[in-house]
Amino acid sequence: MRCLLPGVAVGELFRLTAPLSFWGGVDPTTGAIVDRNHPQNGVSITGVILVMPHGRGSSSSATVLAEMIRIGTAPLGLILQEPDQILVTAGFVANSLYLSEFVVSCGQVPPGDDGVFRLDDAGLSLESAGARSDSDGGY
Amino acid sequence: MAFLNGELGEGAALAMGLLVTIAETESATGFIDIEGAHIDGCLFHGQAGIDFARALVEGNATVQVPTTLNVSSLDLLHPDLYRGSASDAIAARELMDLHVELGCAPTWTCAPYQLPGRPELGTQIAWGESNAIVFANSVLGARTNRYGDFADLSCAVTGRAPASGLHLDSGRKAEVLVEVAVPESAFAHEIFFPLLGHWLGANTGTRVAAISGLPSDTTEDNLKALGAAAASSGSTAMFHAVGVTPEASTFEECVASTDIPSIRVAMNDLKRARDALGNGSGVPGAVSVGTPHMSAAELQHLALLVVDGRSRIPFYVNTGRGVLASVPDNVLAALEAFGATVVTDTCTYITPIMGHVDGPVLTNSGKWAYYAPANLGLDVVFAGLEECVKSAMSGEIHLEDPFQV
């Protein structure tokens, strides 16, 4: 896995099944996907390590993601299947302005999503295994 | 290094730091000089945009190349149209003013390619705004990657861009062939182009496509609609139209190898695209056209369509202040007599202008149809400009296109 933006995220994995535009596709005030065309419409992406194919659509996504990091509705970090400079830009700006530790990596994530993971400059590692609670939504 | 160590100011150092990170992300071979920039970050999406622009201003940054500005959240020429909160308006204005303070030209349009002095074939630029990016690369043959907010402004204040992707010859070659296989009569209806664009974005993703089979008299406005729809449904930053766009006089010219995968697009694909973009029914509540901002030719066409008519529902026409100033007075007079509301500097799908609408909204824009349902919480009927006008005059939905399921 290649680190695109250094930082640290510890949390659960959530996989997007389709590309997502943060602008117009996510409500930044709640962190919920609002793109009616997205198969995971309605699901929250706040506080997870988000695994996504790549970004999509509007170039305004950088500000929306930076704003979500600022107010705490963003994912903790991203694992992209293809490098996406718009999303890296959002993380860089938030980390510069707000001293956040948003992390962006690029690579494939093997199956096995249960547990709490750590994503940092070195890649993705399992922090603690465990069955999912019923409350974590999204699944 | 003069940038990064702050010799050229803290603002330039922040901007160059971002560009270095982007360059590493894209495995760029270095940096190139750019000749112009277009900034998308002047549209208010929250405090982060203001904080970044202010950091540049306070760090003594100014743009190093001619730089235009995208739409904002406010219509400064028609301020009464804005129905949002006063606090959002104040923040939006602050963001706009900061960009002007950095030396950007207050053009406030998503279609900078409709302004005089647009970039030419081979010109290196750094543009934001997805529809402008795809137009610059595909139709003008200028060279820009898909810059997001912050990145476009960072290129402008440094005059540099990472040497990667679409800035390089190698990144501009088609990776997939799209063979358009529809009856010739389909081209006669303008919505063919945004429908093909919607399909293209959804089916070719980030790849540069070579589209074959488009008529040689395809207009810039057709390509604008195609690109804007593709950049909404996908990450399309460039396409070639063989025999139409400047880097594809032949198929061989726009590919590194003629052995690339191909996909065929037929009427059924376009019918499905039309269905996805909006097949609402009922009594229409409003019409919105001009996303991206209408060109002078489109405004003049609309003025001819509305002659002697009167819209029974709110009819919004989005365009740039530069284009509006360039069209003859009788065009504006015709739109006014029809009852149309001209919107400049912003667009009806990104800021509260339309207010509550009873019934679906007609639009001829693939981009508007893609984003407005989520942004504004309304239903869309996708239709050509002429059908939009007829529907507005009758108060009933009129559809005459051949793409209905």
B298-327: per-residue pLDDT in tens? 999 999 999 989 999 999 999 999 999 999
What is the predicted pLDDT for the residue at B7?
73
Report pLDDT digits (tens) over B273-288.
Answer: 999 999 878 999 999 9
What is the predicted pLDDT for the residue at A57?
57
Confirm if B86 and B94 have CB atoms less than 8 A apart: no
Determine, for residues A93 and B40 on separate chains, whether the beta-carbon distance falls below 8 Å.
no
**Beta strand B315-319 pairing with B340-343:** parallel
pLDDT, mean of residues B13-24: 96
How far apart are the C-alpha atoms of B343 and B321, rounded to whole Å? 9
B184, B173, B176, B237: which is closest to B215 by C-alpha? B184
| B366 in A contact zone (CB under 8 Å) | no
Which of A5, A36, A63 lies closest to B48 in CB terms? A63
How close does chain A come to B241, measured CA to CA in Å? 21
How far apart are the C-alpha atoms of A134 and B43, rounded to whole Å? 40
Report pLDDT digits (tens) over A44-78.
Answer: 999 999 999 877 656 788 999 999 999 999 999 99
Within 8 A of A42 by CB-CB distance, chain B residues are none
Report pLDDT digits (tens) over B94-109.
Answer: 999 999 999 999 999 9
Question: Considering only A50-64, B191-205, B358-372, which range has the smallest mean pLDDT?
Answer: A50-64
A58 is catalytic: yes
Q: Which residues of A touch B (CB under 8 A)?
A: 4-5, 19, 23-25, 28, 34-37, 54-64, 66-67, 69-71, 82-86, 88-90, 92-94, 96-97
Report pLDDT digits (tens) over B212-261.
Answer: 999 999 999 999 999 999 998 888 999 999 999 999 999 999 999 999 99
pLDDT, mean of residues B253-274: 97
Confirm if B59 and B101 have CB atoms less than 8 A apart: no
Confirm if A101 and A113 have CB atoms less than 8 A apart: no
The pLDDT confidence band at residue B405, using thresholds 50, 70 and 90, is: confident
How close does chain A come to B223, measured CA to CA in Å? 17
Q: Which amino acid is at B161?
A: A
Q: Residues of B numbered 70-109 whose beta carbons fall under 8 angstroms of chain A's beta carbons: which are they?
A: none
Residue tagged active-site, from A21, A58, A100, A125: A58
Complex prediction ipTM: 0.90
Within 8 A of B234 by CB-CB distance, chain A residues are 19, 56-57
How close does chain B come to A23, measured CA to CA in Å? 9
pLDDT at A131 over 80: no
Tell me how far CA of residue B322 lies from CA of A52, B45, B77, B78, in angstroms: 39, 24, 12, 14
What is the predicted pLDDT for the residue at A135?
42
Global confidence as pTM: 0.92
Determine, for residues B43 and A92 on separate chains, whether the beta-carbon distance falls below 8 Å.
no
pLDDT at A134 over 60: no
Determine, for residues A24 and B374 on separate chains, whether the beta-carbon distance falls below 8 Å.
yes
pLDDT, mean of residues A69-94: 95
Max CA-CA distance within chain A?
A: 38
What is the predicted pLDDT for the residue at A84?
87
